Chain A
């Protein structure tokens, strides 16, 4: 980042190549919507470009980067809250044959022989994640998928580390219950994994 601050364009390309995927992953998990995540990803990096002169060495780049991404996602979520949300029983992904989200989840989703993992497991895991409150989901995603230590998550979210850990505990417990509720357990995960390997 220091090199980019000094005008080295190539340094930014390296940063983008290294972090674009993980940040996109975080945004998809946090926003729960791939199309929105794409927009958020672009917005995040444009903010990185414009804020680059203000970055200081005392902050870790990843912490700073995820703070920007998180703020972009939170702002967008607030704006979205004012828009009409799709009802849970409304049409889901067109690939689901026009069935509702509930139907997709209740009947086990798409046939196992069509991409076992996505059909059996992925939608349920995503649904469980979406069901988390925002403040728990962001902590879980940052720790589990972005790999940030709790102390850095505290910096990114601007909350005390103990609060971060507390939210993490609640998130893990809520996920466990939700996955049980959706019929996802070690057996299903194992079956999906085996199907995916076939």
Chain B
């Protein structure tokens, strides 16, 4: 090491910032260089003098204000920070999603009410106004609108429709009594239950079912439905294949939470619903009716709500859960909210009178700004009738077929509000 290099390192040596070989080299040079030795001594002397300045003790008091500010800031952070450590903006995305869904649902509902009114005028049936249901699937109202238009079309060209219109793939609840031949062997009990369901169905549901039945009676020859159903319910080509439903094309007699559901007869594997006809499936419509009924009860204040405080029990647990039970104490709706570092989602489960999961509405957002809506319709046996995923904005790799492990397949009990409980 030469003199210039050593001069550059004298400070480091004086302040102990040299180690190992570098330190040894500088010390070796200092030992042989008078100038460097004097410089080092001057540094050390000045440091020794300035080191005589005693440390200034911090003033007593004064820290209370800082501590109070720190506590307040910590408290605010705890309050503002959502459970599971998700950033606030992600939850804002969730809220925005809920708002978007609300606006969308209101729009759908207004449109469907208008269509229902028109249809009622045509059919001479007064359709009761139905208020908004956020979680109700938008597909059904849209389909109802289409149905009304089709009815008008049929009335004007009956011959054309008779030749062209395929019979409905599945029969509605109200259609069951008139079509006992569709379920040979199991028809009588099914018919009786369906009749009961039709009687107990809400007025609007009865109106809709009556329209459906009338259409079938006019256009479909006896036995045609049974023959056409398998063809109509061809395997879905929508990319989200429903689970194979091991059910016969038999009516489901659950038009509302108050009505009875009819268990499917174990028969040959039923054809899957396809993208073109799934919305018209009575099974799907029965689910939609169930959801509407639950929402109606909820709005009417007839469901008892119990919830877990919006805080995480621990890492990986849900952020919040709410259960809604009917007068009989049966949980008919259950909501869970959860999130990860990348997404925040809400699951809204709807259960029939038997406590079986019939519909799930999953919505939320992800860190990339995407907003998802995922819906699953299930029959009474737990088979997925249809499943669809829509992105209102962006795209995020949420599972296209939502894993059952994320869902409450059966109505949860009060234990679901305890920490550590699945799903």
* Chain A binding surface, main DSSP class: helix
Chain B residues with Cβ below 8 Å from A24 are 56-59
Within 8 A of B (CB), among A10-51: 12-13, 16, 20-22, 24-25, 28-29, 34, 37-38, 41-42, 45-46, 49-50
Contact of A176 among B8, B45, B59, B65 (CB under 8 A): B45
B160 interface residue per 8 A CB criterion = no
Choose one: A4, A7, A9, A117; the contact of B52 (CB below 8 Å): A117
**Nearest neighbor of B10 in chain A, beta-carbon distance:** A169
Across the interface, A53 reaches (CB within 8 A) one of B65, B75, B77, namely B77
Q: With both chains docked as a complex, state the minimum distance between the C-beta of A13 and any C-beta of chain B, in angstroms.
A: 6
The one of A7, A149, A172, A179 in contact with B74, judged by C-beta atoms closer than 8 angstroms, is A7
Given contacts A49-B73, A165-B11, A169-B11, contact A179 B54 (CB under 8 A): no
Nearest residue (CB) in B for A128 is B50
List B contacts of A12 (CB < 8 A).
67, 70-71, 74
Q: Does B24 contact A (CB under 8 A)?
A: no
Does B392 sit at the interface, judged by CB under 8 A? no
Contacts of B54 in A (CB 8 A): 117, 122
- A117: B residues at CB distance < 8 A: 52, 54
CA distance A179 to B77 in the complex (A): 51
B44 to chain A, nearest CB (A): 10
Chain B interface residue count, CB cutoff 8 Å, equals 36
Q: Is A66 positioned at the interface, with any CB of B under 8 Å from its CB? A: no
Cα-based distance from A121 to B49 in the complex (angstroms): 9
Across the interface, which residues of B come within 8 angstroms of A45, CB to CB? 63, 66
Question: B390 on the interface (CB 8 Å rule)?
Answer: no
CB distance from A142 to the nearest CB of B (A): 12
Q: Does B53 contact A (CB under 8 A)?
A: yes
- Is A189 on the interface with B (CB-CB < 8 A)? yes
Is A119 among interface residues, defined by CB-CB distance under 8 A?
no
Select which of B48, B50, B52, B56 is within 8 A of A37 by beta carbon.
B56
A41 close to B58 (CB less than 8 A)? yes
Task: Judge whether B43 is part of the interface by a CB distance below 8 angstroms.
Answer: yes
Given contacts A4-B74, A7-B81, contact A129 B58 (CB under 8 A): no
Contact pattern, A 70-83, Cβ under 8 Å of B = 1, otherwise 0: 00000000000000
CA distance A29 to B69 in the complex (A): 26
B80 to A: closest C-beta gap in Å? 10
Could you say which residues of chain B place their CB within 8 Å of the CB of A125? 49-50, 52-53
A94 within 8 A of B: no
Query: Given contacts A9-B74, A176-B45, is CB(A42)–CB(B55) below 8 Å?
Result: no
Which A residue sits closest to B43, measured CB to CB?
A: A172
Q: B73 contacts which chain A residues (CB < 8 A)? A: 49-50, 52
Q: Bits for A174-191, please: 1 = Cβ < 8 Å to B, else 0.
A: 011001000011100100
Q: Which residues on the B side are within 8 Å of A101 (C-beta)? A: none
B52 and A16 contacting across the interface, CB-CB below 8 Å? no
Judged by a CB distance under 8 angstroms, whether B51 is at the interface is yes
A175→B46 contact, CB < 8 A = yes
Roughly how many angstroms separate A143 CA and B70 CA in the complex, as a whole number? 29
Q: Nearest Cβ distance between residue A196 and chain B, in whole angstroms?
A: 9
**A31: shortest Cβ distance to chain B, in Å?**
11
Most A CB atoms within 10 A — which of B12, B43, B65, B70?
A: B70
Contact assessment for A16 and B63 in the assembled complex, using a CB-CB cutoff below 8 Å: yes
Chain A residues with CB under 8 Å of B400's CB are: none
Chain A residues contacting B3 (CB-CB under 8 Å) are: none
Q: Is B78 an interface residue (CB 8 A)?
A: yes
Contact status A21-B62, CB under 8 Å: no
Indicate if the CB atoms of B56 and A34 lie closer than 8 Å.
yes
Return the chain B residue nearest A5 by Cβ.
B77
| Residues A42 and B50 in contact in the complex (CB < 8 Å), given A143-B15, A172-B42, A176-B42 | no
B17 at the interface (CB under 8 A from A): yes
B66→A49 contact, CB < 8 A: yes
- 18 further A-B contacts with Cβ under 8 Å, apart from A7-B78, A53-B77, are A7-B77, A12-B71, A16-B66, A16-B67, A20-B58, A22-B55, A25-B56, A25-B58, A28-B56, A29-B56, A38-B59, A45-B63, A46-B65, A125-B49, A125-B50, A149-B17, A150-B17, A165-B11
Q: Which 7 A-B pairs have the closest CB atoms?
A: A24-B58, A7-B78, A28-B56, A45-B66, A12-B70, A21-B58, A176-B46
5 residue pairs from A and B, CB less than 8 Å apart: A16-B67, A24-B58, A29-B56, A145-B55, A175-B50
Q: Which A positions have Cβ atoms within 8 angstroms of B?
A: 4-5, 7-9, 12-13, 16, 20-22, 24-25, 28-29, 34, 37-38, 41-42, 45-46, 49-50, 52-53, 117, 121-122, 125-126, 128-129, 140, 143-145, 149-150, 165, 168-169, 172-173, 175-176, 179, 184-186, 189, 192-193
